[in-house]
Chains A and B, each alone.
Chain A
Amino acid sequence: MTRAEQGVTLFVGGFGFLLVLALLTGTLTPSYTLYLAGLTGMYVLLSFGLNAQWGYTGLINFSVAAFFGIGAYATALVTATNSPLSIPGGVLVGLVLAILASAVVAVAIAIPTLRLRSDYLAIASLGLAEVVRQIVLNQRDWTNGSGGLRGIPDVFAGWPVLGELPEQLPGLQFTEYAVGIPGLFRVRVLGFTLDTPFWTDLLNFVVVVVFVVAVYLLLRRVHRSPWGRVLRTIRSDEDLASALGKDTYGFKLQSFVLGSIIMALGGIFYAFLAAYVSPGDLEPINTFYVWIAVILGGSGSNRGAMFGGFVVVAIREGTRFASDILPSQLPVNIPVLVDVYGAIVSDFGSTRLLIVGLLIVLVMRLRPEGVLPPQRELVWPSALEEKDE
C-alpha cells in the first residue's frame, strides 16, 4: 500500500470505529447508524456514476442531482402513497422506468453538447438539471410539487419471502450496562432493542451493498476492457483516439449514459432509504457533493470514489452533529472572533457550504489528482503480477 492508501485506510477505519463506539454508547441509534451507512452507499453509487463519466472519459456532468432525482422520483411515483400518477407495479417497474428515463435524458443532454468544447457540457448539464428541478417543482399534477412524495414502502414490500422477513425475525433486546471507573466517569452501554424496523433498515442496507458491489465489479471489468481503454485514451488525448479510428463521440455517449444510469440507481435506493423525496433533493449542491467525492478521492479511481462518498457523508451529517455539540458562544472573549464564531455556529447550512467551497479550492490547489489517484486501475492485473515476480 502507498502512504496515501495507508492514511485513507486509517482514516476510514478510525471513523468506523468511532461510529461503532457511538452506537454502543447510545449516542447513535441503531437505525440512524444504518441510515448513515446507507447514505454512504448511496453517495458511493453516485460517485461511481460520475467517475464513469468524468474519471474515465473526462466528461463534465453537472447534473448528478437530476439523474439522482430521476431515479428517486421514478421509484417514488410508482410506489408512494400520495403519488398523483398511480402507475401500477412495484419496485421493478420503478427500476425500469428510472433506467429508461435517465438514459433518455442523458442522450438528450449529450447529443447537442458532446461534439463541442468540453465546458459546454458543464453549462448545458447544469442547465438541464435546473430544468428537471423546475419541472418537478411546478408540475404538481405529476409530481406533487414542493410537497414531495411520501409513504414510500420498504424495498421488498409485497415480495414473497423478503417482504415478510423483517416481521418474522426475532426481536433482540440488549440490556443496559453501565461501565466506567467509579468517581471518574460512567458510560451507558448497549440497552437498545433490535426489532422489525431495524431488520427492515438492515435489508435496505444489504440492497445498497449489493448495488455497490455489483456496480464496482461491472465498472472494474468495463474499465479494463478494450472499451475502457478507449475511454482513457479519449480523456488524455481525444485527437489521438479519433486518429486511431475510434468513434469518440459514440464512446463518450455510451460512457455518459452508463454513468447516468448508475446515478439513477443511487436515486432509486435513496427513495427507499428516506421514504420521502422532494424537489429539495434536486438542488445543485447535491451535484457538487458528488463532485467533491470524486475529485477528492481521485478522478478515475473507484476506490477513491468510495473514500469520497465516505467523506461527503461525514461533511453532510457531521456538521449536523457539530451544531448540537458545539457551544453557542466562544468561551474566550475576543471581539471579532466571537462574532465570526457565533455566525458559523448559528447557521450550519451556510457553514457546510463554506466547507464544501473551501474543500474544492484546496483539493484543486494542493492535490488536483485526488487522494487515491488511479494506479492499479490503469493496468491489467496480470501485468502487475509479472512485475511483482
Chain B
Amino acid sequence: MAILELLANGLVFSSIIVLASIGLSLVYSIADFANFAHGDTMAVGAYAALLTFGVLGGVGPTVLALPVGFFIALAVGAAVAALVAVVTHVVVYEPLEVDSIGLLITSIGVAFVYRAIIQLRFGSNPIEFDIPLQRPIEALVPLGVRVTVHDVAIVATAALLVVGLHVLLQYTDLGRKMRATADNPDLARVSGIRTRRVEWWTWIIGAGLAGVGGGFLGLYNQLSPRMGFDILLVVFAAVILGGIGSVYGAMAGGLLIGVINQLMPAISDLAVALPLVPNVGPAYADSVAFLIMVAVLLVRPSGIAGGETT
C-alpha cells in the first residue's frame, strides 16, 4: 500500500499547517484572542509573493528547482503579511474597548476586508505561480514515494523556520520577553518589559510565518482568495489539538493534523477491508481533522501540551 507516499505527502502538507498554526498560537497567547483573520493573512502573503514573483520573474540560479527569485518573493510576501498585520493591530485592534470575544468578532470583519481587497484586485478565480511543475524524484519512486523537489523545498524551509523560531524563543532577549508576556502580561509589564513592543513583534513573527505558509500553500495547490479561509479550520484544529497558546503544541498539532489530512485515502482503503470503519471519501479530509479536534476536546480539554503557554 502506498502508505509511505501518503505519509510523505502528509509531511509536506503538515509543514504548511505548522507554519500557519505557530503564528495563530503566538497571537493567541500574547494578544489573547482567536484571530479569525489569520487564514486571510496567509492569503495576503501568498498574493504579495505572487505579485513580487511576477515582477522578478525567475531571476537567479535555482535552488531545489525553485529560482532564487521565488524565495525572495516569499520573503516579500512574509514582509507584506507582517506589515499588514501590524497596521491592522495598530489601526483596528489596539483602539478597541472590547473583550477577547469582541476582538474575535472584529477579526472576522478584518478577514473579510482582506479577502474582498484580494478579490477586487485579482478576481476570484484560482491562479498559479509561473513555475513549471516538477516530476517526482526518480530515486524515491521505487519506494513508492512520489514527491517533487518542490515538496522537499517546502519541508526544508519550514524546518529551518521552526528551528529559527525555537532559537529565538529560547535563547534571545526578545524570546524571553515574549514568553514572559505570554505567561503573565501584567507581571511582564511591571518587570519593565515593553509589552506593547513585544506585541508588535508577535504580530510580525506570526503573520510573517503565515505569509510564508501562504506562499507555499500557493505553490503546493494554487492561489485563490478563499485559500486562507478554507485552511483556517484545519489550522485551528491543529492549534487546539496542541493546546491553545502553546507554540510547541501548535507544531505537534500541525504535524499530526496535516498527516491525518493526507492519510484519508488510506482510511478509505481501510474502510473497504474492515466493516466498522466508516468509508468517508477524501472530500471529508478537513471534516475529519475537525472531528478529531472535537474528540480530543472531549477527552483532554486543554490539548496535547496541556495548556502551557509558549
Residues of chain A within 8 A (CB-CB) of B95 are 365
> Are A288 and B112 within 8 A (Cβ)?
yes
The interface of chain B, by Cβ under 8 A from chain A, is: 33-34, 92, 95-98, 100-102, 104-106, 108-117, 119-121, 123-124, 229, 233, 236-237, 240, 244, 281, 283-284, 286-287, 290-291, 293-295, 297-298, 301
With contacts A119-B104, A295-B105, A343-B121 taken as known, whether A134 is within 8 angstroms of B283 at the C-beta atoms is yes
- A386 contacts the other chain (Cβ, under 8 Å)? no
In the assembly, what is the distance between CA of A323 and CA of B12, in Å? Answer: 43
Q: What's the minimum C-beta distance from A315 to chain B, rounded to whole angstroms?
A: 12
17 A-B pairs in the complex with CB atoms less than 8 angstroms apart: A112-B297, A116-B301, A123-B34, A127-B294, A128-B290, A134-B287, A138-B283, A288-B108, A291-B105, A354-B113, A354-B116, A357-B112, A357-B116, A360-B105, A361-B92, A361-B109, A364-B106
B291 A131 Cβ-Cβ under 8 A: yes
How many angstroms between the C-alpha atoms of A356 and B113 in the bound complex?
A: 8
| B34 with A119: CB separation less than 8 A | yes
Q: Is A60 at the interface (CB under 8 A from chain B)?
A: yes
CB distance from A142 to the nearest CB of B (A): 14
Which of chain A's residues 87-126 have a Cβ closer than 8 Å to chain B? 111-113, 115-120, 122-124, 126
B92 partner residues in chain A, CB cutoff 8 A: 361, 365
Cross-interface CB contact of A360 among B100, B106, B286, B295, cutoff 8 Å: B106
**Does A147 make an interface contact (CB < 8 A)?**
no
A116-B297, A120-B297 known; A364+B98 contact, CB < 8 A: yes
A361 near B287 with CB under 8 A, answer no
**Contact across chains for B102 and A364 when beta carbons are under 8 A apart:** yes
A361 lies within 8 A of B113 (CB): yes
B265 to chain A, nearest CB (A): 15
The dominant DSSP class at the A interface is: helix
Does A344 interact with chain B (Cβ within 8 Å)?
A: yes
* A-B pairs under 8 A by CB, number: 126
Partner of A131, one of B34, B106, B109, B287: B287
* Residues of B contacting A358 in the complex (Cβ-Cβ under 8 angstroms): 109, 113
Give the distance to chain A from B105, nearest Cβ to Cβ, in Å. 6
Interface residues of B: mostly helix, strand, loop or mixed?
helix
Set of chain A residues within 8 Å of B301, measured between Cβ atoms: 115-116
> How many residues of A sit at the interface, in one of the four size bands?
35 or more
Q: Are A122 and B104 in contact (CB under 8 A)?
A: yes
Bound complex: CA A254 to CA B98 (Å): 27
List the one stretch of A76-84, A150-158, A179-187, A345-353 in contact with chain B. A345-353
B124 touches A349 (CB 8 A): yes
Query: For B105, what are the chain A residues with a Cβ–Cβ distance below 8 Å?
Result: 60, 291, 295, 360, 364
B112 touches A127 (CB 8 A): no
Do B112 and A130 have beta carbons less than 8 Å apart?
Answer: no
Chain B residue at smallest Cβ distance from A113? B297
User: Given contacts A60-B101, A364-B106, are A353 and B287 in contact (CB under 8 A)?
Assistant: no
- Which residues does chain B contribute within 8 Å of A351, judged by CB atoms? 116, 120
Would you list the 7 A-B pairs with minimal beta carbon distance, nearest first? Answer: A360-B109, A357-B112, A354-B116, A357-B113, A350-B119, A353-B116, A361-B109
Given the contacts A119-B101, A343-B120, A357 and B110 also touching, CB distance less than 8 Å: yes
